[in-house]
Amino acid sequence: MLTINDLIQDEDTRRKYHDIKNMVGSGGMRSSIYDVNNVCNLRCKGCFYFSSDQHKLDDQKDLDELQAFIEREKARGVNYAILIGGEPSLSMDRLDVWYANVKCSSATNGVKKIPRDRYPDMRVGISLWGDEEDEIRLRGKNTFLISRENYRNDPNVYYLYTITAQTINQMEAVTKKIEDAGLRVHYQLFSNDQGVDGLDWTEDLYKEARDNMDAMIEKYPHVVISSKYYHQVLTTQMMLDRRFGWMECPSVSDAVDDRNPRPKRLAGFNSYGSDYTTIHRCCTSVTRDCATCHDGAATMSWIMVNKREHMTSPADFANWVDVTHMFAKLYEYIPW
């Protein structure tokens, strides 16, 4: 068994390992995902939230009940709440309760601004599906332009940019606009849940996407929060000699995880519907096919929970450190 000293052979890995070593293990991050409400001001094509009927739950509107639920989650060990849709910006009275009671970040489509003075420390991740024409085509309005203006120069905001098989070549133009707006970006790949024509991935397209994402790290290092190893795993769905999928996924809700054997997974992770009684299968939707899932958070978590498997060579360990460092930046454990 190699020691950490054997495994760390370069200064970049040493620095990053120093940054992250308190984040993992006991006392580190324990997250879960929570739908804040069941409404949205957009109807994006291919949105799994609506197509899988997650919006049909009776959402929790009672703020005292919400606070009691948060206390139960904290007693369960959760110390980081990832708030998602519907659309959190439409229910700021609920965001107030979350923000006052637990460390949290919020997703948004960026159309309605989540005010910084109301939530000075809240990390905000804006979903982005493409450049301006794509946003109009897929989401019904130019949300990219609106969100850039809403959040210009906000140091605690990033775009979660989902690359599709048809938008690989726009990556630099979009990244440049994000740089010009003084914001940051993290990439993931589109999962073609609903079999939309022209959006399936091929080996050539995966390679092109990976090469472009890698190039963006080189060219925009202060804008792009990512990792080449993450890109490799995302575009191959392979980590070491293992294939991503249901029997490997770390982001299945603990309460419904009946896999046998259970793989390494995020401790105590659950994904709650907006009634806070329903627990979704995983961080995406039960309608998604695990064989073609490209969820970025599940992919990076898969790498992170398999630390030991990367402790066989300095190169593998450096890859693990790089991805964990990226995760720590995205979830505020270390500065960008």
Binding site for ligand SF4 (CB under 6 A): 40, 42-44, 47, 49-50, 85-87, 109, 127, 246, 249, 251-252, 282-284, 288, 290, 293, 295, 298
Closest approach of ligand SF4 to the CB of residue 110, in Å: 9
Cα gap 189→128, rounded to integer Å: 11
DSSP structural state of residue 54: G
DSSP structural state of residue 254: G
Select 216 or 250, whichever has its Cβ closest to ligand SF4.
250
Cα gap 164→206, rounded to integer Å: 10
Question: What is the separation of C-alpha 179 from the centre of its chain, rounded to a whole number of angstroms?
Answer: 20
Closest approach of ligand SF4 to the CB of residue 169, in Å: 23
Cα gap 258→144, rounded to integer Å: 40
35 strand-pairing partners: 84
Helix, strand or coil for residue 242? Answer: strand
Using only C-alpha atoms, the chain has a radius of gyration, in whole angstroms, of: 19
Select 50 or 220, whichever has its Cβ closest to ligand SF4.
50
CA 265-262-17 angle, 5° bins:
30
Select 183 or 283, whichever has its Cβ closest to ligand SF4.
283
Q: Are strands 279-280 and 271-272 parallel, antiparallel or unpaired?
A: antiparallel
Helix, strand or coil for residue 9? Answer: coil
Match 């993290």 to its residue by tokens: 186
189 strand-pairing partners: 163
Helix, strand or coil for residue 187? Answer: strand
Select 13 or 109, whichever has its Cβ closest to ligand SF4.
109
Beta-strand ranges (E) seen in 114-197 are 123-128, 157-163, 184-189
Closest approach of ligand SF4 to the CB of residue 30, in Å: 18
Q: Hey, what are 309's tokens?
A: 């498997």
